[in-house]
Structure 1
Amino acid sequence: MHPAAWLALVVFALAYVVIASEKLNRAAVALTGGAAMVVIGATRGDAMFFSPETGIDWNVIFLLFGMMILVGILKQTGVFEFVAIWSAQRARARPFRMMVMLVLITALASALLDNVTTVLLIAPVTLLLCDRMGLAPIPFLLAEAMASNIGGTATLIGDPPNIIIASRAGLSFNDFLTHLAPIVVVLVAVFVGLCWLLWGRHFTHDPERAAAVLALTPRETITNRRLLWQMLAILALVLLGFLTHSLTHLEPSVIALIGAGLAIVVSRLDPEDYLQDVEWETLLFFAGLFIMVGSLVHQGVITQLADALTTAIGTNYHVAAQGILVGSAVLSGIIDNIPYVATMAPLVHDLVGPAPGLPPGHQSLWWVLALGADLGGNATAIGASANVVICGIAKRNGHPISFWEFTKYGLIVTAVTILCTIPYVSLRYFILP
């Protein structure tokens, strides 16, 4: 490798270690790492700001920004308190039942929206619910982040890497439903069991708080019914925009920004009312992370790793599929799964070509790339966009989630879900094609 590539690896490794140690602010570390990449010549202005392969993913940044504004305005209606109380009452105010309900809602919503949008909507509900019940919110937030990544695997729009794969491989929304939704249903069920083992068995039931919550009237929490109906209509239009992305070719970020602009006009709120809910630190962290990972892509580091993987597996597509599945899970836990998939997708395309018309074994390489990247994103706090957003919201509300607290649970969830996926890939594409 070129000396600049080695220096880029050192900078990334150092930044990763400092982020994991949590000794310094993660956004400051990521931005410093990005600046260091420029100083050592690993990247430059055009590659940082204008390249879709090696620069900041503005689609992700502005998707987050637009949805944060929508959530901030929706918060003014009191609907999150309504949903929190309604959920608690449906679960009879039992902590683990509430977790299961929130996990299922998150997984389903992540398939219909995307995992980042989902956690932006569900996290405020969770914080309010836990406050009412006197519960620690961190287990709930961790479970929701991981459920969003699992549920988002099922559809084309559920997780940003899937959009990249669909574009490169020529896959449709229905293709994702047919190939990935069956295993995702199984994985969600398995994950509910893991939630009991990891967190649920430690919950304690407070009869007094439960009785108080059960006695509440959810409708009384709605403070602005007119704005609520307007916001629900706007969110429905945003969802429709996400679902029709393949027809309109509008980027999710553009749809989110249009929705945010419409909400600002309709609500007539003061800017401070909704801008206070924008996670600026999270957005800056993403920018720095994209610059660092983009520098590795720009220097060919990730491409060389991917090339080594494809060389090792050769033309044995069964071994190739399992190798890409496991390898993608590992690498997506180390770097964000969006730039990882952006790098791997062209390599898979060169290896087998577009997905339509391919034999099952050949086509499987596209599906294992999606499964490995999406499920592997659960491994660490920076493995997927939803994880970063959840950690940012938790910190902002006085419940910081450490890198290692997320990782010690994330590694277990990733390992179990990948182990469940391995036999599915073998049966679906090689034994019973």
Structure 2
Amino acid sequence: MTLAAWLAVAVFASAYILIATEKLNRAAVALGGAAAMVAIGATRGHAMFFSEETGIDWNVIFLLFGMMIIVGILKETGVFEFLAIWSAQRAQARPFRMMVMLILITAVASALLDNVTTVLLVAPVTLLLCDRMALPPVPFLLAEAMASNIGGTATLIGDPPNIIIASRAGLSFNDFVVNLAPIVVVLLAVFIGLAWLLWGRRLAHDPERSSAVMALTPRETITNAALLRRMSLILALVLLGFVTHAVTHIEPSVIALLGAGAAILVSRLEPDTYLEDVEWETLLFFAGLFVMVGSLVHQGVIEQLARSVTSLIDGNYHVAAQGILVGSAVLSGIVDNIPYVATMSPLVHGLVGPAAGLPPEEASLWWALALGADLGGNATAIGASANVVVCGIAKRNGHPISFWEFTKYGLIVTAVTILCTVPYVTLRYF
């Protein structure tokens, strides 16, 4: 590697250590790391702002921004309080039952929408629910972040890396459902068992608060029914736009911004009201992180790491698939899985070509990449976009999730789900 590449690795490693140790604000570290990358010549203005492979992913930034505004306006209707009470009553106000319900809702919604949008909608409900029940919200938020990454693995639109893979490999929505949904169902069942071991058995049941919640009338929490009806229509259209993205080819970020604009018009709220819920720190953190990782891509560091994973193939597709599966899980936990997949996809394409018409053993490389990157995103707090968003929401609401608190649970979940996926790849394709 060149001197610039080594310096870029040093900057990224230093920033990663600072983020992990939480000595400084993570957004400040990410932006400082981005500035350092520019200073050492690892990236430049055009590569930072305009390159799809090495720059800031504006689709992610503006998708988050638009959905944050929609969520902020929805909050003014009282609908999240309604959903919190309704969910608690359906679960008989039992803590672990509520966690299971939220896990399933998050996983299914992530498959139909995308995992970032889902956690933006589910997290406010969770915080209100836990407040009503006097429960610690962090275990619920951690479970939802990880469930969103598992559920999003099942479909083309569920997790951003899948969209990249589908575009490069020529895969359809149905291809993802047929190949990945079966193992995702199994992984969800396994994850619910892990959730009991990691968090559920320590959740205390308060009979008095349970009785009080069961006696509530959810409809009474709706404070603006007219706005809720208008917002429900806008949200339905936004979600329809997400689902039909593969047909319309309208970027999710554009759909979210159009929805946010329509919501602002129909709500007639003051800007301070809905902008208050925008996670500015999270957006800045993403921008800095994209620049740092993009610099590694620009300098060929991630490509070299990816090539090291595939160098052991030598015509043995079984070894290749398992190597890509495990290697992708490890690397996606270290860097965000979106730029990792953007770098790895051309290499897989060079090895086996488009997925259409490939023998199962060769096509397995594409599915191993998707499974490894999506599930590996659970390993750390910065492994997947949904994780960063959840941590940002938690911090904003007074329940900060440290890098190591996320990681100590995320590593267990990632290790177990990948171990379950290894025999699936073998049995399904070989």
TM range (shorter): over 0.9
**1:242 Cα deviation (Å)?**
1.0
Which residue pairs with 1:389 in the alignment? 389
Alpha-carbon deviation of 1:219? 0.2
Distance (whole Å) between structure 1 residues aligned to residue 372 and residue 225 of structure 2: 43
Deviations 1:390-428, CA, capped at 9 Å, x for gaps: 000000000000000000000000000000001110011
Q: Distance in 2 between matches of 1:26 and 1:189?
A: 34
Which structure 1 residue ranges, 4+ long, deviate > 4 Å from structure 2? none
- Provide the residue aligned with 2:117 in structure 1: 117
User: Offset of 1:203 from its aligned partner?
Assistant: 1.1
Q: Give 2:293's aligned amino acid.
A: V
CA deviation map 1:234-263 (0-9, x unaligned): 111111111111221111101111111111
Which of 419-428 and 235-244 deviates more?
A: 235-244
Alpha-carbon distance, 1:104 to partner: 0.5
Residue 230 of structure 1 and its aligned partner are, at CA, apart by: 1.1
Report the Cα distance in structure 2 between the residues aligned to 1:390 and 1:288, rounded to whole angstroms.
Answer: 18
The corresponding residue for 1:248 is 248
Describe the superposition over 1:277-299 as per-residue Cα deviations: whole angstroms up to 9, x where unpaired.
Answer: 00000000000000000000000
Counterpart residue type for residue 402 of structure 2: S
Give 1:87's aligned residue: 87
| Residue 46 (structure 2) pairs with residue 9 (structure 1) | no
Which letter does structure 1 place at the counterpart of 2:196?
Answer: W
- 1:310-369 CA-to-partner distances (Å, cap 9, x unmatched) read 112222000000000000000000000000000001111111100111000111111110
Tell me how far apart the structure 1 counterparts of residues 100 and 308 of structure 2 sit (CA, whole Å). Answer: 41
Q: CA offset at residue 197 of structure 1?
A: 0.4
> Equivalent residue for 1:130?
130
Secondary structure of the corresponding residue to residue 354 of structure 1: coil
**Aligned pairs (5 A) from 1:223-238:** 223-238=223-238
Q: Which amino acid aligns with 1:231?
A: M
Determine the structure 2 residue equivalent to 1:338. Answer: 338
1:52-201 map, 5 Å: 52-201=52-201
Please name the residue that 1:301 is paired with.
301
Find the aligned partners of 1:223 and 1:112 in 2 and give their Cα distance: 29
Residue 97 (structure 1) shift: 0.4
Separation in structure 1 between the aligned mates of residue 246 and residue 143 of structure 2, nearest angstrom: 30
Counterpart for residue 423 of structure 1: 423
Out of 239-248 and 142-151, give the one that drifted further: 239-248
Structure 2 SS opposite 1:312: coil
Deviation string 1:153-192 (CA, Å, 9 cap, x unpaired) is 0001100000100111101111111000010001001000
Cα deviation digits, residues 100-153 of structure 1 (max 9, x gap): 000000000000110000000000000000000000000000000000000000
Instruction: State the secondary structure of the residue aligned to 1:277.
Output: coil
Q: What is aligned with 1:47?
A: 47
Residue-by-residue CA offset, 1:47-67 (whole Å, 9 max, x unaligned)? 000000000000000000011
Q: Which moved more, 1:240-249 or 1:297-306?
A: 240-249
Residue identity opposite 2:380 in structure 1: T
Between the two proteins, the alignment pairs up a number of residues equal to 430
| Structure 2 portions without partners, runs of 5+ | none
Q: Distance in 2 between matches of 1:289 and 1:65?
A: 16
Identity %: 83
Task: Classify the secondary structure of the residue corresponding to 1:357.
Answer: coil
How does the TM-score come out when normalised to structure 2?
Answer: 0.99
Displacement after TM superposition at 1:81 (Å)? 0.3
* Structure 2 residue 405 is the aligned partner of structure 1 residue 399: no
Letter in 2 for 1:175: D
Q: Distance in 2 between matches of 1:421 and 1:268?
A: 49
- Between the aligned partners of 1:271 and 1:295, the Cα distance in structure 2 is 35
CA distance in structure 2 between the partners assigned to 1:138 and 1:315 by the alignment: 46
2:406 maps to a residue whose letter is F
The CA deviation at 1:232 is 1.2
Q: Which amino acid aligns with 2:111?
A: A
For 2:241 and 2:345, the matched residues in 1 are separated by 25
Query: Would you say 1:280 and 2:284 are equivalent positions?
Result: no
3-state SS, counterpart of residue 80 of structure 2: helix
Match of 2:216, SS state, is coil
CA distance, structure 2, for counterparts of residue 19 and residue 381 of structure 1 = 10
Give 1:308 deviation, angstroms. 1.7
Give the C-alpha shift of residue 307 in structure 1: 1.4
CA distance in 1 between partners of 2:308 and 2:96 (Å) = 44
Q: How far apart, in 2, do the equivalents of 1:168 and 1:254 lie?
A: 22
Name the structure 2 match of 1:24.
24
Task: State how far apart, in whole Å, the 2-side matches of 1:218 and 1:421 are.
Answer: 41
| CA distances 1:32-82 after superposition (whole Å, capped 9, x unpaired) | 000000000000000000000000000000000011011001111100000
Q: Which moved more, 1:304-313 or 1:98-107?
A: 304-313
* Whole-angstrom CA distance in 1 between matches of 2:361 and 2:234: 42
Distance 1:219 1:244 in 2: 32
Q: What is the CA RMSD across the aligned residues, in angstroms?
A: 0.6
